[in-house]
Amino acid sequence: MINFVTILHFVSFTANVLLAAFIIGRNPKALLNRVCFLLIATFAFWCFYSARLTMAQNYDDAMFFINMSSIGWAFMPVASLWFCLALDKKGNILKNWVFIAATTLVAAVFVYAQWAGELFYTCVPASWGWTPIWKMSAAAYAYYFYNIVIAGILVYLLIDFGRKARSHSQKMQARILLITGIIAMALSSMTDIIFRIFDIRAVPDIADVFFVIGGFGIVYAVFKYGLMSLTPRVAAETILNTISDSIILLDTKMQIVYTNQATTALLGYSEKEIKGSHFSSVVTDKKATEDLLKDTLQAGSVNHELSYLSKSGKTIPVLIATSIIFNSEHNNIGIALSVKDITIRKQIEEALKQSEEKYRLVIENAREGVCIAVEGLCKFANRGILDMTGYSLEEFTSKPFIEFIHHNDRSRIAESYSKWISGIEVASSYTFRCISKSGDIRWMELSAVPIMWEGKPAALTLITDITERRQLQEEQQRVEKLESIGLLAGGIAHDFNNILTAILGNISLARLDAPPGSEVHENLEQAEKASLRAKELTKQLLTFSKGGAPMM
């Protein structure tokens, strides 16, 4: 027999069927739409057999309808879990067939438990039809626990979705679904579980009707905030909140009317705290801000560097690009700011500046000469090369470097430089003579590496003054020559001394045979004296060969 409760169940069934058709019709391919359709289908199935239960003619029919309705209320928590996972952008979990099979199996176990009489084991007549009676079994307590765990997970997922939402619309969607879901779960648990546990039978079983509240929440979220649909507003909010740069919209009074999540994250303010504030409250230089806005109104769009002032007082360097916002009638209604955090860039620039300064000091104070040659001119010269040559920086960088090289070395160095700049492989180290400002000739040793200087191929050269080294080398060579001469002289002196000894001996013997006073005797005496003088010269050569000074 049809009564008010029957009508209530059928109205709920009809509403769920229409809602399911509406949801799947909006986007049949979307995962969220499909799992939402499945969830509402479990509501509809539950409502249909709950309506049939109120019309059952006998006990057997009533138990059959109760058992059939278990397919709806046993699978409804699992379908709700799938829906919230899809909503919270955890759709990859739903692609795991092990997870799908496991959760489906849990729901199927409770359906089996109902058909086995372990949940609602009987029913009694009531003014609205039949009322099922819970069996206080292990299966019943497991079903209570199953619903509580799923409910906790659903609440967490909805809160997580709202927390991670990038737009106001998504936050409102999460809030609506959470509130309507909690209300539906609380009311349905009260009528179908708590009242039955305490044997309160004055209220009919209308848990399925209360879940229509959740359906209305979905409908409201769809029409009001674009749930499961892509509207220009939702798309715009999503895009703006996905952008990593800070986006701020100002009205004509320079008050902040919109900020994306990157802005609130950068400044540390919540959207409510910053909305309505004057833009000057979030920057450090008020005068620069006024100039920026003034230039924007005059030029239409500008780029400028400023510093944000965060809630904690931290200064954040930013690059701001501004543009005027016009309405359909081309009236100025505000200014859009695209703000990029350049903290890292500034840190890199500062690090490079410090590094450049450090190396500049090293190069400037190096004893070796460092210069950079571009197209035959020295574009850079350090103090070392200037001290070597005696020229000023202006003098050294105003003339072709070839003019500072000795004329006998110019053609060789010029030819090597020309080949080297052209990419032809040549020696990277050279020795040449340089003419200082005072006219002195200095010996230099040059090593070069290729670089780019102001967009042009150049030579970075390291020059060492080797004049003293060359002088030492020349002195060493002279000493070595003298040592060689000494060795040669010593050898000759020894040999000559031996010859003279033999000559003197023979002269002495010949004098003994010659009559004294004779011409032969006198000639032999003169020869002996000459030999003695030669022997003395030989002695001086021996002294010289040993490093001594000969006696003249």
Per-position pLDDT tens, the chain of length 552:
678 888 888 888 998 898 888 888 877 887 888 888 998 899 899 889 988 888 888 999 999 999 999 999 899 999 989 988 888 878 788 889 999 999 999 999 999 999 999 998 888 888 878 888 888 899 989 998 998 999 999 899 888 888 877 667 778 878 888 888 888 888 877 777 777 667 776 777 777 777 777 777 777 776 665 555 544 455 455 555 656 678 888 888 888 888 887 888 888 888 788 888 888 888 887 777 777 778 877 777 777 788 888 888 888 888 888 888 777 667 777 888 888 888 888 888 787 777 777 767 777 777 788 888 888 888 888 888 888 888 888 888 888 888 888 888 888 888 888 877 777 777 777 888 888 888 888 888 888 888 888 788 888 888 888 888 877 877 877 777 777 776 776 677 677 777 877 787 777 777 777 777 777 777 777 777 777 777 777 777 667 666 655 544
DSSP letter for 69, please.
H
The widest CA-to-CA distance across the chain, in whole angstroms, is 187
Tokens of 151: 């409910």
8 A C-beta contact, residue 275 and residue 251? no
**Which residues are CB-contacts of 314 (< 8 A; sequence separation ≥ 6)?**
none
8 A C-beta contact, residue 445 and residue 466? yes
CA gap 114, 143 in Å, rounded: 10
Tokens of 509: 């013997």
Kindly report the CA angle at 188 between 174 and 57, in degrees rounded to 5?
Answer: 140
8 A C-beta contact, residue 182 and residue 108? no
**pLDDT for 142:** 93
DSSP letter for 533, please.
H
Consecutive H or E run containing 392: none
Q: Is 343 exposed, middle or buried (0-12, 13-18, 19+ CB in 10 A)?
A: middle
8 A C-beta contact, residue 248 and residue 258? yes
CA gap 210, 197 in Å, rounded: 19
**Which residues are CB-contacts of 266 (< 8 A; sequence separation ≥ 6)?**
246, 308, 310, 316, 339, 341
Looking at the DSSP bridge assignments, the partners of residue 429 are 447
Rounded to 5 degrees, φ, ψ at 286 are: -65, -40
**pLDDT for 111:** 95
8 A C-beta contact, residue 347 and residue 355? no
**pLDDT for 240:** 59
Rounded to 5 degrees, φ, ψ at 284 are: -90, -40
Q: 């709202």: which residue's tokens?
A: 162
Helix (H, G, I), strand (E, B) or coil at 370: strand
Closest of 417, 419, 413, 373 to residue 396, by C-alpha: 373
**pLDDT for 424:** 78
CA gap 392, 437 in Å, rounded: 9
Per DSSP (E only), the strands in 140-292 are: 246-250, 256-259
Rg, the chain, Cα only:
53
8 A C-beta contact, residue 409 and residue 433? yes
CA gap 356, 419 in Å, rounded: 30
Q: How many Å separate Cα 30 from the centre of its chain?
A: 34
**Which residues are CB-contacts of 58 (< 8 A; sequence separation ≥ 6)?**
none
**pLDDT for 232:** 47
CB atoms within 10 A of CB 176: 23
